[in-house]
Amino acid sequence: MGGRAERATFLATVVVLAGSAFAAELTHKEFHFKVHRHSSVSILNEYGPISVRPVSGHQVIVNAVLHSARVTVDSNQRGSRVEIVSHLLPGATAESGKVDYDVQLPADARVTLDSSTGPLYAEGLRGDIVLVGNTGTVEVRNVSSGHVHIKTLDGPVNLTNVTDGHVEITSVGGQIAMKSVSGPLVQVNSNKGNIAYDGDFGGGGQYLLVTNSGNIEAIAPALASIDVVAESVKGKVVNDFSLQPAHSSFVERAGSAFAGTLGKAASSVKLLSFSGKIHLKKRP
C-alpha cells in the first residue's frame, strides 16, 4: 500500500511538472515572405507586443516568440498580402497565449496591427498604418507620408515625428501625446483621456482635437500660422497668445471660448472639449 501511494504521488508530480513545462515553454519561430512594392502586412495578436520597423529589400521577416504551446502562429500569403494570426488553443490565458512579434518589412508597406494587450510599436514607415488596441500602449515614431489610424479603448497613445499624412486617433480613456506631429489632417477624438500636443500645427492642415471630459493642452511656437478656435462647453479655456480677431460667426465667451488667427493662418486648429480644460500654450 505504501508503495502504491508513493507511485501515485510520483506520477502526480510528474504530471504537474510536465504541465508546467508545457505551459512555460518558449518557442521561437521565424517567417520570411517575398513581396512586391506596396505590400500589405496584417498581424492579429490578442496577447503580446508587436513591433514593426523597416528593412531594405522586398521582404517581410517575422520573428515570433510563443510563450507556451497553447498558442500557434498561422501565416498566410496571397501575393504581396501577408497575414499573421496568433491562434489561441483551448485553455490559453493572457500569459500562456502571449506571442511577442518583431517584424521587419518594406517601408512602403501597409501595416495593420491588432492586439488587445499590446503594446504596439511602429517606426520608420512610409505606408499606411492601422493600429488597434484595447489597453496596451500604442507608439508611432518617425513616420512620414503615410496615413496613421489608431483605435484604442484605454491604452496610451504616443506619436513622435509623424508628418505629411493623415492622423486619425479615436480613444476612450487613453492619454494621447503628440510631439512634432503635422500633416494635412490631424484628428483626435477622445472621451476621458487627455490630449497633449507639442508641435507647430504646420503643413497648412486641419487639426481637430476633441474630448468629452479630457483636458487638451496644445503647445505651439510664437510664430505659428494658425486659425484657431477653442471652446469648452463646461470647462475653462486659457490662451497664452495674442490672437488677431477672426472674421467668423464664432461667438467668443471669456473663459470658455476664444477664436483668432496667428501669422497667415495657414492651418485650421479646433480645440473642443465638452467639460475638460483647454490650454493653448506658447512654447518658450
Partner 1 sequence: MTCEEFHRVLPELGSGNSLERVAHLRSCSQCAGLLADLNEIARQARHLQASDEPGPQVWDSIEIALRNEGLIRGGIAMPALEAHSLEDEVHLQSCQPCATVRADLDAISEQARLLQGGETPSPRVWNSIEIALRNEGLIRQLEVEGPRIRHASPSWKLAWLAPLAAAAAVILGIVMFEYSDGRQGSAHTTDLASVAPAQSQDSTANPEEEQMVRLVAERMPALGAAFEADLKAVNDYIREAESSARANPQDETARQHLMSAYGQRAMIYEMAMDRSLQ
Interacting residue ranges for partner 1, rule: CB under 8 A: 44, 46, 94, 114, 116, 132, 134-135, 151, 153-154, 170, 172-173, 189, 191-192, 208, 210, 212-213, 231, 233, 270, 272, 274-275
Complex with partner 1: residue 210 or 262, whichever CB lies closer = 210
Per residue, what are the HEC states of 2-21? HHHHHHHHHHHHHHHHHHHH
Complex with partner 1: residue 154 or 198, whichever CB lies closer = 154
Complex with partner 1: residue 7 or 234, whichever CB lies closer = 234
Provide the 3-class DSSP secondary structure of residue 76.
strand
Complex with partner 1: residue 31 or 274, whichever CB lies closer = 274
Residue for cell digits 501565416? 75
- Residue 153 CB, nearest approach to partner 1 (Å): 5
| Listed residue (67, 116, 137, 121) closest to 96, CA to CA | 67
Complex with partner 1: residue 168 or 200, whichever CB lies closer = 168
- Residue 56 CB, nearest approach to partner 1 (Å): 33
Q: Which three cell numbers stand for residue 137?
A: 500602449
- Residue 77 CB, nearest approach to partner 1 (Å): 21
Q: Which three cell numbers stand for residue 115?
A: 492586439
Per residue, what are the HEC states of 128-197? CEEEEECCCCEEEEEEECCCEEEEECCCCEEEEEEECCEEEEEECCCCEEEEEEECCEEEEEECCCCEEE
- Residue 187 CB, nearest approach to partner 1 (Å): 9
Complex with partner 1: residue 46 or 106, whichever CB lies closer = 46
- Residue 283 CB, nearest approach to partner 1 (Å): 26
Residue 169, class by beta-carbon neighbours within 10 Å (0-12 exposed, 13-18 middle, 19+ buried)?
A: buried
Complex with partner 1: residue 166 or 282, whichever CB lies closer = 166
Which amino acid would we find at residue 20?
S
- Residue 246 CB, nearest approach to partner 1 (Å): 14
In whole angstroms, how far apart are CA 9 and each of 1, 6, 19, 20, 117? Answer: 12, 5, 15, 17, 39
- Residue 221 CB, nearest approach to partner 1 (Å): 26
Q: Which three cell numbers stand for residue 99?
A: 506571442
Provide the 3-class DSSP secondary structure of residue 245.
coil
* Cα distance between residue 7 and residue 1, in whole Å: 10
- Residue 64 CB, nearest approach to partner 1 (Å): 17
Complex with partner 1: residue 190 or 267, whichever CB lies closer = 190
